[in-house]
Structure 1
Amino acid sequence: MRTETIALHAGYQADKSVRSAAVPIHQTVSYEFDSADHAAALFNLEAEGFRYSRISNPTTAVLERRVAALEGGVGALCLGSGMAALYNAILCLAAPGRNLVSVPQLYGTTHTLLSHVLPRMNVSVRFACSDDADDIGRLIDDDTMAVFCESVGNPAGNVCDIEALAEIAHAHGVPLLVDNTVASPVLLRPIEFGADIVVHSLTKFLGGHGTTLGGAIVDGGQFPWHRQPGRFPMLNQPDASYHGLVYATHFGRTAYIEACRNFCLRTTGAALAPLSAFLLLQGVETVALRVERHVENARLVAEALQRDDRVDWVNYAGFPASPYYPLVQRYMAGRACSLLTFGVHGGMPAGKRFYDALRLIKRVVNLGDAKSLACHPASTTHRQMTPQQQIQAGVTPEMIRLSVGIEHVDDILADLDQALAAAHDGCLDPALVLREPG
C-alpha cells in the first residue's frame, strides 16, 4: 500500500462480533485473564495479549502498527509525548559511562535532555560541530551507543544526509537514531536510507490539529544487536525482571522495540491514553493530504518573503541556492517541508514588533498544526541555551520560525504583510491588511 492508503487502513481489522468501521476507544485500565496460567504466560512474554494499559492497549496498538507501517519499521511503541519517546528510545540503549554522538541542530528541549539530563545518568553527549558525517565520525569511540540527528532540524531547517550518517554509524558498530518529526513519513522515511530507530512527536504533523500530545518510537528491525553483547547490555544480557529473558535472543528483529515496551515504558510509565491514541489516529488519516497543502503553501510563502525588502533573509531548503537543496531532491522527492525561518529587517526589535502584530498566524511553540504558527525560538524553545549554543543549533536573535498551515495562502500572505508593515511603520500594500478573524 502507498502512504495515503497506509494512513487510513494499516493496523486495523474490524472485530468480527462488532464490525466497527472506526477504531474503537478501549477506555480500560486492565484486561481479564482466562486463568492463572494465561496471566503467567502474558507476564512472562510467552503469549501475545494485553495485560495493563500502561504497557499496551488495543486502541494504542492500532496507532503503533499504523505508524510502524508508515515508517517501514517492524514495530512501534507509542508514548505520552515526543520527549517521552526520545527519552525511552535512548534509555533502552544507555549504560553508565557510555556516550551519544549528536548533530548540533536540535530542538531546544532535546538539547536540554542531552546536555543536562543524560549526564546525570553518567551518559555523556558529544555534539559535533556540524551535521556532516565526517564530523560525526570523529567523535565515535568504543563507548558510543548511538548516533542521533533530526532528519530536518528544528528550527535550523537543515536536512541531514541520512545515508551518510547511517554508513558512518554502522562502520563503528552503532545504530542511527533519527527524529523524523518535522519531515514526517509522508516526505521522508529514514529507515529506507539506513536509519535503525525513528522517533516522532505525534503531536505535530501526524496528529496535525494541535489537540493531543503523543510520541512514537519505531524499530527498523535491521540492526544486529546480538553481535555486540557488551555494547548493548539491555538487549543481550538476561533481564532479571523477566526471569532472565534475553531480548535479542527471544524476539530477534523486534528485540529493541520489545525492550522499550516491556522494560522502559513498563517501569517509567509514560503511557499514551487510549482517547489520545484515537484522536491521533484521526490526524494520521489525513496526514498525506495535509502535508501536500503544507508543502505548497510553504513554497509560496518562502518565495514571497524572499522577494520582500522588509525581510533580510529566508532559510528554506526548497530554494536552489540552499546547501540542503540537493538533499531535498534526494530524500524528499523535491518537496521541502513547511517549516522555515526568516529574519525581519531591523533585527530583533523589528522581529518582535512583527511577531506581536500577527493576527491570523498563532503565536505558539507548536508546529505541524493545520493552522499556521509562528515562534521566536530565542525567546521560547531555545531560551535555556547560551547564545553560543543557540548559534550552533541554528538559532539567531532575530529569527522567526514559521510552521506554514493549510489555510488559503493569500490569507497567510496578507497576515505576514500587515505584520511586516507594523514592524516598519507603514504598509506597502494596505489592500492586503487582514482583519481579525471573526
Structure 2
Amino acid sequence: MKIINKADRPSLRRSVDQGTVEQRKSVQSIIQEVKENGDEAVRRFTEQFDGVLLESPRVTKEEFDEAYDSMDGEFITILEEAAANIRSFHEKQLPTSWFDTSSDGTMLGQKITPIDAAGVYVPGGTAAYPSSVFMNIIPAQVAGVERIVMVTPPGEDGKVPAGVLVSARILGVSDVFKIGGAQAVAALAYGTESISPVDKITGPGNVYVALAKREVFGDVDIDMIAGPSEIAVLADDTARPREIASDLLSQAEHDARSSSVLVTTSEHLAEQVQEEVESQLQQLPRERIARQSVEDYGMILLCDTWQEAIDAINEIAPEHLEVICEGPFQSLAKIKHAGAIFLGPYSSEPVGDYFAGPNHVLPTNGTARFSSPLNVDDFLKKSSVISYSGEALQQNVDKIARFARLEGLEGHARAVESRKERWT
C-alpha cells in the first residue's frame, strides 16, 4: 500500500463503472430474452452462466428445512439477534402521514403508502451473504411491503447457501428463487411464469447485475447502482496500526476492485500501517483478492493538517468511513459526505456490516455526495393530499388563473374559473 503526499496524490473521486459495450449489449439481450420467453430463458441462462440445470428455480420447503437443520443453533441465535437490532434501527426511520387544516377550511397533507412488491437480489459467487438478506428485506418489511421476492445465484450443486436460506426463514420470507445475474433482474422487473413482477429491485451484485438494474430502471425503481466496496479511515497518531490495517483489509478482501484508503496526518502511523497491511495480507485466506485490491486501489494519504485530511475525506465521499482519533465527535460536524460513519476505535466497520443495526447497503463511487444508505423511505411512496375549501378558492381563483395564463395554459385557467358560478 503506497504512502502518498498531498503534492503527489491523484484524484480521489472514483468514476461509476459503466461496463463495456459488449457487457451492455449482453445484458440488453438477456433482458429481452427473459421478457419474451420467461422461465425458459431464465432456465437456459442459469445453465449457461451458473452451470446448473434446474427443473424449477423456486426454493422448496424441504430445502429451507435442510438448511435450518444443518446450521449450528448458536449461529441461528446470532442471526436472530442481528435481525432484531437491524429491525429496531429501521423502525425508528418510519415516517407518518400528516394533515394540516387552515382556518378557511382547506386541508393539505401527505399520505405515506408502501410499495406493493419488492425484489431483493442477494449476491453469490465468491462468498455467501446472509447479512444482505437482512439489510434489504427488513426495511421493506418495516415499511409495510406486502410481497417480497428474493433471488440469489445457485451454487454448483444447485443449492443456496444455508445461511442465506436460514436468514430468509427468520424473516418469514419464502418466495426465494435460485436465479442470479441479469436474468434475475429481468425476471423481477418483468415477471415470468414463476415470478410476478415487482415495483422495486434492491441489492448489490456484479457488473452484469448493476447494468441490468440500470436497464430496467424506469419500468421499476432500483435502490442504486452499487460499485465495489470502499473504506476510508481518518486517523491521527492515537490510532493503533494493527487495528487500522485489519479494518482496511476487511474491505479489500471483498473484491479485487475494492478501495481501501487511510487518510492521516501522522507519518509514523502511515509507515506502521503500511507494514501491518503487508504482514496481515500474508495471513489472510483471501490474500489474492485483497492484495490485488490493495495494489490497485489502496492508498495511504499523508496530509499536513487535520482540516486537509477532512477535506480529502469529503472529496472521496466513501461508502464506509472510520474516524479514529482523539475526540472523533468533534470532527463529525465537518464530515459532509459518507455512506456510514464509524466513530471511535471500537466501531470497526464489520460492526455495521452485521450487527449494530444501520443498513450496510450504502452509496459507492462517491455517490454519497448526493445519496443515502438503503432505508425504510426507499420502500415508501408519498402522495400529496389537497382538499381546497370554497372560501380558499374564491380568494385565490384569479391569482391561480393569472399564473396559468402566464405559462400559456388557458385550459388550466378556465378550469379554476369554471367554479366562479358557484359564488354568483
TM-score under structure 1 normalisation? Answer: 0.29
Q: Which has the higher helix share?
A: 2
